[in-house]
Amino acid sequence: MTLLSIGIILYVVLLILVCLRIIYDTKNTTKTVAYLLVAIFIPVFGILLYFTFGINYRKHKLFSEKIANDQAMMKKLKENIMAYTKASLQRNDPALQDNEELANLLLNDIFSPLTSRNQVKLLVNGENKFKEVLTALKEAKHHIHIAYYIYKDDIIGKKIEDILIQKAKEGVQVRFIYDDFGSRSIRKTLVRRLREAGVQAYPFFKVLFILLANRLNYRNHRKIIIIDGQTAFVGGINVSDAYINNEKDQKKLFWRDTHMRIDGPGVYYLQYLFLTDWNFSSEENVQPNEAYFPEPKTEGKGAMVQIASSGPDSTYPTILYSLLAAMALGKKEILITTPYFIPGESMLDAITIAALSGLKIKILVPLKCDIPLVNAAARSYYEDLLNAGVEIYLYQKGFVHAKSVVVDGNLAIVGTANMDFRSFDLNFEVNAIVYDEKFAGEVRDVFYEDLKFAKKIDPEAWRNRHIWVQLGEKVARLFSPIL
């Protein structure tokens, strides 16, 4: 028997063992099939891909302590959460009456409080967001909590850095969480400077080469800033010059994105999320107190806000469930903006059912996303939706990175979660849900403004595309659960 024959036999045995492991270890049937296809049809590399991105044997071990600590902190906040929710429900706001089931879902699942009298501000694109952020940071008196998936050591990154350092010198508590994969470029530069200046900075879920498997999954994709427990920023815009549009620079890619500012008790659950992520990253034990959860300063009327979050430490895929619930409550119109559209069967069914029930469904996605395989997989879903009457628009002005949903003009969702398996299942994500006609109307207006720079897909022309193009997209779709 030759060495080649022995090698082939050993590889086949290894492949069988890996396939058995995939079947045993992967709960999701669709994802199981996808990993089996990768392992079988991409020799050697497919197995390496699974052990790098797919295997989850350490997931419970990695996050079990975090889950226990998070639950202990939640017990201390539960009484206030119920009080805020009860007071908000008593207001009988019309926008809430149409969406009370969604509010109850988030309360029962993750104890996310329904908060009222929030002042909310829509921030369209980086150039508008960062002006607001820089001003708010300068006004911090007690603490600044900041967590980002991507943070760059560029012009805007340095501007925020300068303020954080100045505030630390003034005695303000400054805590900074950066995702160790998304922000890997700042580990030895900006992070070092922050620490030397008195800013506390820690990576989320540090990536170690030896333990690479799994650690490229379970990333903290959240973008959160909390100032003095009163003001918060959340949305899709990372800290990078790439997100700031410059009319004078025609060569620069136009980046269309959405963020928002919250002033009021809607900040509280974001604060809870930050503190739990901080304790996990820093191995400290910071506990809630009046300085982190102060009495809200906002008075009079305001918007109702609730936070949806989920991640590998969640009991249920709350982000996915909240989106499904919101769509199920729709009666007239659902507007979706997302850069990565790989919805999975449950989301695909929800959108299809809504469209067949007579709702007007419009989806805005990029003409081309920055990952070709993801782009091909996303396009494989379009025909089914077009057949159901869904309108799909391809954004052409630049790259649309916004993640937003508007339902019936009285409910708006703005956050960090893409409409794909990674956001629903693997990453730590957060969305702000606003039950308010004024704010939802603003997000709706922006959506229709974006459509001016988008091309509507013609269903007939889409069905008649070259068969090889369609085949390529269908093949890419097989890998969608692992993208």
User: Would you call 59 helix, strand, or coil by DSSP?
Assistant: helix
The span from the CA of 157 to the CA of 4, in Å, is 54
And the tokens for 88?
Answer: 């908000």
The span from the CA of 17 to the CA of 152, in Å, is 42
Known catalytic residue at 466: no
Distant-in-sequence, close-in-space partners of 91: CB < 8 Å, separation ≥ 6: 116, 304
And the tokens for 19?
Answer: 């396939």
228, 263, 420, 450: the active-site residue? 228
The span from the CA of 242 to the CA of 225, in Å, is 19
Helices 155-169 and 126-138: crossing angle in degrees, nearest 10, is 10
Known catalytic residue at 408: yes
109, 313, 408, 436: the active-site residue? 408
223, 259, 362, 420: the active-site residue? 223
Beta strands in 157-302 (DSSP E): 173-179, 200-204, 224-227, 231-235, 255-256, 258-263
Q: What are the residues facing 148 on neighbouring strands?
A: 178
Neighbours of 282 (CB within 10 A): 16
And the tokens for 141?
Answer: 């008196």
And the tokens for 425?
Answer: 């299942």
129, 145, 167, 221: the active-site residue? 221
Residue 346's Cα: distance from chain center in Å? Answer: 18
The span from the CA of 412 to the CA of 418, in Å, is 15
The residue assigned the tokens 């890998």 is 479
And the tokens for 42?
Answer: 């991409």
Known catalytic residue at 228: yes
And the tokens for 391?
Answer: 């309108």
Residue 478's Cα: distance from chain center in Å? Answer: 23
And the tokens for 190?
Answer: 């900006």
Known catalytic residue at 401: yes
- Residue 168 region by backbone torsions, left for phi larger than 0, else alpha for psi between -120 and 50, else beta: alpha
Q: Which of 329, 353, 343, 337 is nearest to 408 (CA)?
A: 329
The span from the CA of 441 to the CA of 279, in Å, is 38
Residue 325 amino acid letter: A
129, 263, 401, 425: the active-site residue? 401
Known catalytic residue at 403: yes
Beta strands in 139-282 (DSSP E): 143-148, 173-179, 200-204, 224-227, 231-235, 255-256, 258-263
Measured CA angle at 281 (ends 278, 285), to 5 deg: 55
Positive or negative, the Cα torsion across 79, 84, 87, 89?
negative
Q: Which residues are catalytic?
A: 221, 223, 228, 401, 403, 408
